[in-house]
Amino acid sequence: MSKLWIAITILGPVLLGLVMLWSLLRNRAQSSAQKARTERATHDLYVEEDRIAHKDKAVDTTPLDPPAGSPRA
């Protein structure tokens, strides 16, 4: 049992570190267009949630403009 506990104690943090490194490298690889699309989608979700929560009385006062040259989705 103690060998299993030692393996878990050592491999757990190593595995966690590898997952964190993978996610960091994956997110750095996003292009500016992908980041803009993600920000726009997040903003739209917040506006929609706010609209639902306030029974369609919410007003979107912070529109996000798309980067120059890209079509607005």
Tell me the per-residue pLDDT of 6-48, one tens digit each, with 9 for 90 and over.
Answer: 989 999 999 999 999 999 988 787 788 988 999 999 999 999 8
Question: Residue 58: CB partners within 8 Å, gap ≥ 6?
Answer: 47, 50, 51
- Which pLDDT score is estimated for 13? 95
- Which pLDDT score is estimated for 26? 84
Instruction: Give the separation between CA 63 and CA 20, rounded to whole angstroms.
Output: 33
Distances (CA, A) of 34 to 8, 30, 54: 37, 6, 30
Arithmetic mean of pLDDT, 64-73: 62
The verdict on pTM exceeding 0.85 is no
Euclidean distance between the first and final Cα of the chain, in Å? Answer: 56
- Which pLDDT score is estimated for 67? 61
- For the chain, domain boundaries: 2-53
